[in-house]
Chain A
């Protein structure tokens, strides 16, 4: 889902509001309601077993963009959990509205029913050059858009497997389990010279990747020339 939440590389933000080793973190929950986001998340996921953590992430992504931008972190988890409890029939919108004394605005409905993993392919090995499949998917996906279509190198294949997020994030309990791969990219391959010279490692499910054939790679995209410097200083 190409939503606002997919922030990696998004430009326009200022400085990170932090100085190293500030002790602000020691008060974990700053206000008396903040623990309810995670506590009720685990109540719904682990105790009531009505949804997965993946569905919670997807529900946060489905919060209307204008509301998403203006809400605080734990607030988004309260909205997501409330949305899933209504969608799974545990609570009704009316019960929430009555408890609040005002309309309780929930996340938007999903834009996609989800999708299955790619099954039956050979696993990748450490050192393999892989390319992130150039797919667009409107549902939940754990592949940041900044690596879509980009090539990287496998550093690690996990020794465990997990349900494919694009399926379980939509409530599909039969989702295929897959390993993930730590794939290393050059930041300059992702954003050209408009990035610092560094490396980025993304933890990607097998279904998001293809192996790059050893006999050569796709042609390099044409280079865009800088705009002419026509404006006098």
Chain B
């Protein structure tokens, strides 16, 4: 048979391959009972941006906690149990009137899972990974966040073990809000840094 110069074209679907891998492991009894279900629940439900919102709202209202969060993000998040796989060395990065911080992982998808939840599709997509480091301001504008000229965009590329969360500035007009109300302003995109907290 002549050597085929073309790469093998795989006509199977992603679902077929995923279930085939699972079936091959099951056949050898290598998957413990409940292992996949338990992990799916941890990743898909327990890891949530509501966790990060709790951390940020507390930092906005409790100066001692804010100081801890910026000095030792891991300890601050561990107070709530918000650590775990892909959230073992946590650094909070602080927005200022002249610096807007934004997180990416240009090489794959690294994200602070326990605090932000699993990364959304667009964060893992080629467009965001390729463009944010080079055209941060432009990408933010396209996503819907326009920044004043005097604000510098600082992009954090998650290339090792540090897992970040953005600590945004508390918006004006929120002086009357309690911690529970403030949490509602801290969305997943605010924690990633592509959005600013907005008072409705």
Q: Which of A89-97, A110-118, A119-127, A215-223 contacts B (4 or more CB under 8 A)?
A: A89-97
- Measured CB to CB, the closest approach of chain A to B7, in angstroms, equals 6
Which partner residue on chain A sits nearest B192 by CB separation?
Answer: A20
Bound: A105/B144 CA distance, A: 40
Residues of B within 8 A of A73 (CB): 109, 121, 124-125
**Among A13, A38, A102, A190, contact of B126 (Cβ-Cβ < 8 Å):** A13
Residues of A within 8 A of B194 (CB): 20
Q: Is B143 an interface residue (CB 8 A)?
A: yes
Interface size class for chain B? 35 or more
**Of listed B14, B85, B124, B195, residue having the most chain A CB within 10 A:** B14
**Among B49, B108, B139, B153, contact of A199 (Cβ-Cβ < 8 Å):** B153
Instruction: With A36-B19, A199-B152 as known contacts, state yes or no: A24 contacts B121, CB within 8 Å.
Output: yes
CB interface residues, B 19-69, toward A, < 8 Å: 19-25, 27-28, 30-32, 35-36, 39-40, 43-45, 49
Which partner residue on chain B sits nearest A57 by CB separation?
Answer: B108
Which partner residue on chain A sits nearest B41 by CB separation?
Answer: A35
**Of listed B21, B39, B85, residue having the most chain A CB within 10 A:** B21
- Measured CB to CB, the closest approach of chain A to B6, in angstroms, equals 10
Bound: A72/B145 CA distance, A: 27
A43 touches B143 (CB 8 A): no
Chain A interface residue count, CB cutoff 8 Å, equals 90
Bound: A142/B106 CA distance, A: 10
Proximity bits, A47-86, B CB within 8 Å = 1, else 0: 1100000000100100010110001111100110110010
Q: Is B170 an interface residue (CB 8 A)?
A: no
The total number of A-B Cβ pairs within 8 Å is: 258
A38 touches B189 (CB 8 A): no
Proximity bits, A27-43, B CB within 8 Å = 1, else 0: 01111111111111011
Which partner residue on chain A sits nearest B43 by CB separation?
Answer: A38
Bound: A187/B87 CA distance, A: 27
Residues of B within 8 A of A100 (CB): 12, 16-17, 20
Bound: A197/B98 CA distance, A: 13
Residues of B within 8 A of A40 (CB): 21-22, 25, 36
**Among B17, B120, B137, contact of A82 (Cβ-Cβ < 8 Å):** B17
B160 touches A43 (CB 8 A): no
Q: Is A135 an interface residue (CB 8 A)?
A: no
- Measured CB to CB, the closest approach of chain B to A4, in angstroms, equals 9
Residues of B within 8 A of A21 (CB): 144, 187, 189, 195
Which partner residue on chain A sits nearest B108 by CB separation?
Answer: A57
CB interface residues, A 106-164, toward B, < 8 Å: 142-144, 146, 156, 158, 160, 162
**Among A6, A35, A203, contact of B40 (Cβ-Cβ < 8 Å):** A35
**Of listed B25, B124, B128, B195, residue having the most chain A CB within 10 A:** B25
B12 touches A102 (CB 8 A): yes
Residues of A within 8 A of B126 (CB): 7, 10, 13
Bound: A160/B126 CA distance, A: 31
Cβ contacts A to B, 10 pairs, < 8 Å: A7-B126, A15-B142, A17-B122, A29-B44, A33-B14, A43-B36, A73-B125, A104-B21, A158-B160, A196-B137
Q: Which residues of A does B touch, CB under 8 Å?
A: 5-21, 24-25, 28-40, 42-43, 47-48, 57, 60, 64, 66-67, 71-75, 78-79, 81-82, 85, 90-91, 95-96, 98-105, 142-144, 146, 156, 158, 160, 162, 165, 180, 182, 184, 187, 190-191, 194-205
